[in-house]
Amino acid sequence: MKQIKIISLSLIFFISTVNLLSQQIVSGKVVSSDGETLVGVNIAIEGTYVGTITDMDGEFEFETEEVAGKSLVVSYIGFSPLTLNLDDVDSRNIVICLKESMTSLNAVTITAGSFAADDKKRASVLEPLDIYTTAGSLGDINGALKTLPGTQPASDDGRLLVRGGDASETKTFVDGLLAAKPYYSKVPDLPTRGRFSPSLFSGTVFSTGGYSAEYGQALSSVLILESSDVALEAITSVSLMSIGGELSNTWCSNNRSTSLGVSYTNMAPYYSLADNRLDWTKPTEATGINFMHRQKFDNGAMLKVFSTGDYGVSAFNSNIGDEITNIDTEGGNAYVNVNYSVPTGENSFLKTGIATTIDDQRQLAGMHRTSDDELSIEVRATMVNAISDGIELSYGIADAYTNYKQAYQHLGSSQSWNGGVKDHILAGFIEPEIKLSARFAFRPGLRLEYSSALAKMNISPRLSVAYKTGKNSQLSAAYGQYYQNPVNEYLKFTTDFNYEKSTHYIASYQVGSLKKRLLRMEAYYKQYDQLVTYDMGQHTYDLNFNNNGDGYAKGIDIFFRDRETIKRTDYWVSYSYIDTKRQYKDYPQKVSPSFISEHTFSAVAKYFVGAINTQVGATWIMASGRPYHQPDDSEFMNRKAPMYNDLSLNLSYLTHIAGYSTIVHFSMSNVLGRKHLVGYQTIPSGNGQPDTLMPLLPDIKQFMFLGVFISIN
């Protein structure tokens, strides 16, 4: 018995010893391909639980029974995993170098020229909600974008004027398809605003230059709006505003949502209180409707229907010199955008879509009656194919059809005129995005267009590069050639034109993160060629059109956003410097156009006062005076208007009414009560009389807005 005990004891000892003897140490260090220490990397013996993670110095050490024939698996988020055979290395001193995964969220993204407001994109500088909460924007997407560098404040226009370009040089896209009329029809004397409510979108990319070959027909800028995804909750919302009301409802089921909204705007009650510069005989009255449908299918396909419609009337008396002219407008617009994207393989998908705009406007200005009817249809198909970890290829074709008609009639005489243009712009593009590493990416692109009206083709090469210089910093550059058809206002007379052309060169540097502090600086040079020129002839219809204009724009844009330094406060500041001159239209020589401010500074701040559940916001925009021309001056466009200085405030109070979440919103523009003279416009009299100078002043000196937004769910 004793013997057995001894045997058993020695057996135990033996087994334990064997166990102890076979324990071997595996140790080493893990670094990234840039030599950076990686902390928390998971190291394991393949197929077992044995392993550890790297410490603060990127080092690791653990014991295991057997190393011969075993493999070590090294994995870390954002990096490509690595397997190495322990037979091939000195298991006590392994140096492992991990390569950053190119699909990781931290990998380089191409940002030159573009501002994104999207919480999915790493390169974002704004969040979707920012568009809403920016004081002075009055719920208009463009209003919020005007606080970004590279744009002109041009409060008398309301449209986006980017880096020396005029309003026609910016195109808007919804879900990748053209929105031909993104603004309400512009009436002389008055700024217009964006047609689409910011609440319909979950992402915005605003490119101030150097954009992808996927987009064309824009010399300066593209605004890409992405409509919201499938709604998660059924919701009814009611908005009561000092200028009208809105009602919308969203129905929801699994992977599907539909919403319908109606709106009514009437400026009459507010104008009866406000002190208008214009004499309104029919303050703007409009109705609108929007319908959205989103559906996800089992195969991963997604259908998006986005449609809006509106109809409005307005009339006012305009004083030009001693003459009073009644300007009466009536207009309707319908926009339907249907988008279907479907996966075509493991790593590829096809996006198809069709967008239709129908826009009809009537205007009666004194004795002049014009009617404009435009139909625009864009059909598009784009393939996106991730060929490998580092290469994504996009290519597609599109046809944009326009049928524009204008009829003019002079009521006092038999004079009348009819014109118009029909045009198919066929386009194709191909653009690979190549990541050579997680730090370096470039995107060469090529776009081809053929316009049936011009009967000409254009080929535009594009190139963007981005290089990550650190964890939160990167350098980017972009180059591109951009072509655009002359606007319908000219094409209606003749199609004997060439394309207008611009060439962009952009270099930019960005450091920091949106969650904390972000600084972005961009320098650009833009060359304009083949701009449309004409001579003011005897009659507006025998202008001597040419493509002889040219020009340039160069400048620096700086953007800084800080959400960390001051508690509960979020602010951003922008500064733009621009030097631009162009000869186009009937300019006798190359000058800065009248919408350009050489220096523009803007600051937006938002502060949440928790105790009273109120967010206070302020937007301050200052811009140096804009050039204008006074008739009889010997030199063209030689005068400068005074500096523009606007401070807008808003308050959003969160509360509940009858148990439903409610936001009470108040905003006021030009709190300082300054006279916003932005320049003078020359009104040609045409009949030998001297031209008239009209001061460009806002209709209302200080605009106030009050709204109550109730959500019922």
Partner 1 sequence: MKSFIIVLITCMLVALNLSATNYHDVMKQNITKLIKSNSIEEINQIAATFERIANAEKEEWLPRYYSAYAHARATHFMSDTDSIDVSLDKAQAYINELLKSNEDESEVHVLQALVYSLRITSASRGYKYSSLSNKSLDRAMQLNAENPRIYYCRGNNVFNTPKMFGGGATKAEKLFTTANEKFESEKQENELWPSWGLYHNTQMLKKCKESN
Q: Which helix (H) or strand (E) holds 514?
A: none
Q: Does residue 19 bind partner 1 (CB under 8 A)?
A: yes
HEC-encoded secondary structure of 552-589: EEEEEEEEEEECCCCCCEEEEEEEEEEEEEEECECCCC
Q: Does residue 37 bind partner 1 (CB under 8 A)?
A: no
Chain centroid to CA 599: 22
Start-to-end C-alpha separation, the chain: 81
Cα(69)–Cα(87) distance, rounded to whole angstroms? 6
Nearest C-alpha neighbor of 328 from the set 345, 338, 314: 314
Residue number, 104 or 702, with CB nearest to partner 1: 104
Q: How far is the CB of 513 from partner 1 (least distance, A)?
A: 7
Q: Which stretch binds partner 1 (CB under 8 A): 47-55, 212-220, 294-302, 315-323?
A: 47-55
**Do residues 397 and 359 touch, judged by C-beta distance below 8 A?**
no
Q: How far is the CB of 114 from partner 1 (least distance, A)?
A: 22
Site residues for partner 1, 71-130, by CB under 8 A, read 73, 75, 77, 105, 119, 127, 129
Tokens at residue 633, please? 């001056």
Residue number, 82 or 262, with CB nearest to partner 1: 82
Q: How far is the CB of 44 from partner 1 (least distance, A)?
A: 4
Residues 6 or more apart from 269 whose CB is under 8 A from it?
Answer: 242, 243
Q: Which of 566, 654, 672, 704 binds partner 1 (CB under 8 A)?
A: 654
Three-state DSSP state, 225: strand
Cα distances (Å, whole numbers) of residue 432 to 391, 443, 444, 464 = 7, 6, 6, 11
Q: Which of 31, 53, 386, 573 binds partner 1 (CB under 8 A)?
A: 53
Tokens at residue 329, please? 């407008």
Backbone angles phi, psi at 287, to 5 degrees: -125, 150
Q: Does residue 25 bind partner 1 (CB under 8 A)?
A: no
Cα(330)–Cα(22) distance, rounded to whole angstroms? 90
- Report which residue type is found at 482: Y
Q: How far is the CB of 49 from partner 1 (least distance, A)?
A: 5
Chain centroid to CA 570: 20
Q: How far is the CB of 33 from partner 1 (least distance, A)?
A: 19
Q: Greatest CA separation found in the chain?
A: 134
Q: How far is the CB of 655 from partner 1 (least distance, A)?
A: 5
Q: Which of 371, 662, 682, 692 binds partner 1 (CB under 8 A)?
A: 662
Q: How far is the CB of 656 from partner 1 (least distance, A)?
A: 4
User: Nearest-5° angle of CA 163, CA 167, CA 168?
Assistant: 110
Cα distances (Å, whole numbers) of residue 398 to 354, 368, 379, 709 = 10, 38, 6, 40
Q: Does residue 348 bind partner 1 (CB under 8 A)?
A: no
Backbone angles phi, psi at 12, to 5 degrees: -55, -45
Q: Does residue 52 bind partner 1 (CB under 8 A)?
A: yes
Three-state DSSP state, 144: helix
Q: Does residue 655 bind partner 1 (CB under 8 A)?
A: yes
Cα(507)–Cα(464) distance, rounded to whole angstroms? 10
Q: Which stretch binds partner 1 (CB under 8 A): 163-171, 298-306, 474-482, 656-664?
A: 656-664
Judged on CB neighbours under 10 Å (0-12, 13-18, 19+), 558 is middle
Cα(179)–Cα(353) distance, rounded to whole angstroms? 12
CA atoms within 13 A on the CB side of 230: 14
Q: Does residue 709 bind partner 1 (CB under 8 A)?
A: no
Q: Does residue 567 bind partner 1 (CB under 8 A)?
A: no
Count of positions on this chain that bind partner 1 (CB under 8 A): 42
Q: Which of 656, 672, 675, 690 binds partner 1 (CB under 8 A)?
A: 656
Q: Which stretch binds partner 1 (CB under 8 A): 172-180, 415-423, 501-509, 652-660?
A: 652-660
Residue number, 65 or 328, with CB nearest to partner 1: 65
Q: Does residue 612 bind partner 1 (CB under 8 A)?
A: no
Q: How far is the CB of 50 from partner 1 (least distance, A)?
A: 7
Q: Does residue 65 bind partner 1 (CB under 8 A)?
A: yes
Q: Does residue 16 bind partner 1 (CB under 8 A)?
A: yes
Q: Which stretch binds partner 1 (CB under 8 A): 484-492, 527-535, 589-597, 655-663?
A: 655-663
DSSP-derived letter for residue 464 is E
Taking residue 293's Cβ as centre, other Cβ atoms within 10 Å add up to 17
Q: Does residue 347 bind partner 1 (CB under 8 A)?
A: no
Q: Does residue 42 bind partner 1 (CB under 8 A)?
A: yes
Q: How far is the CB of 511 from partner 1 (least distance, A)?
A: 15
Residues in the chain: 713
Q: How far is the CB of 609 from partner 1 (least distance, A)?
A: 12
Three-state DSSP state, 213: coil
Q: Which stretch binds partner 1 (CB under 8 A): 42-50, 164-172, 394-402, 588-596?
A: 42-50
Q: How far is the CB of 225 from partner 1 (least distance, A)?
A: 18
Cα(302)–Cα(340) distance, rounded to whole angstroms? 6
Q: Which helix (H) or strand (E) holds 673?
A: none
Cα(232)–Cα(250) distance, rounded to whole angstroms? 10
User: Across 346-455, where does the E strand assignment appear?
Assistant: 348-365, 368-388, 391-410, 416-435, 440-451
Q: Which of 8, 93, 630, 638 binds partner 1 (CB under 8 A)?
A: 8
Q: Which stretch binds partner 1 (CB under 8 A): 12-20, 110-118, 297-305, 701-709?
A: 12-20
Residue number, 8 or 540, with CB nearest to partner 1: 8
Q: How far is the CB of 438 from partner 1 (least distance, A)?
A: 16
Q: How far is the CB of 127 from partner 1 (least distance, A)?
A: 6
Residue number, 133 or 217, with CB nearest to partner 1: 133
Q: Which stretch binds partner 1 (CB under 8 A): 13-21, 342-350, 553-561, 622-630?
A: 13-21
Number of helical (H) and strand (E) elements in the chain, helices listed first:
5, 39
Q: Which stretch binds partner 1 (CB under 8 A): 29-37, 70-78, 318-326, 360-368?
A: 70-78
Draw the binding track, 488-527, toward partner 1 (x: CB under 8 A; -: no contact): -------------------------x-xx-----------
Q: How far is the CB of 129 from partner 1 (least distance, A)?
A: 5
Q: Does residue 68 bind partner 1 (CB under 8 A)?
A: no
Draw the binding track, 233-252, toward partner 1 (x: CB under 8 A; -: no contact): x-------------------
Cα(502)–Cα(531) distance, rounded to whole angstroms? 9
Residue number, 98 or 178, with CB nearest to partner 1: 98
Site residues for partner 1, 214-233, by CB under 8 A, read 232-233
Any idea of the CA torsion for 590, 593, 598, 601, to the nearest 10 degrees? -160
**Do residues 557 and 573 touch, judged by C-beta distance below 8 A?**
no
| C-alpha torsion sign, points 317, 318, 319, 322 | negative
Q: Which stretch binds partner 1 (CB under 8 A): 10-18, 145-153, 388-396, 413-421?
A: 10-18
Q: Does residue 7 bind partner 1 (CB under 8 A)?
A: yes
Q: Which of 24, 27, 33, 51 binds partner 1 (CB under 8 A)?
A: 51
- Interacting residue ranges for partner 1, rule: CB under 8 A: 1, 4-5, 7-8, 11-12, 15-16, 19, 40, 42, 44, 46-53, 65, 73, 75, 77, 105, 119, 127, 129, 232-233, 513, 515-516, 608, 613, 654-656, 659, 661-662
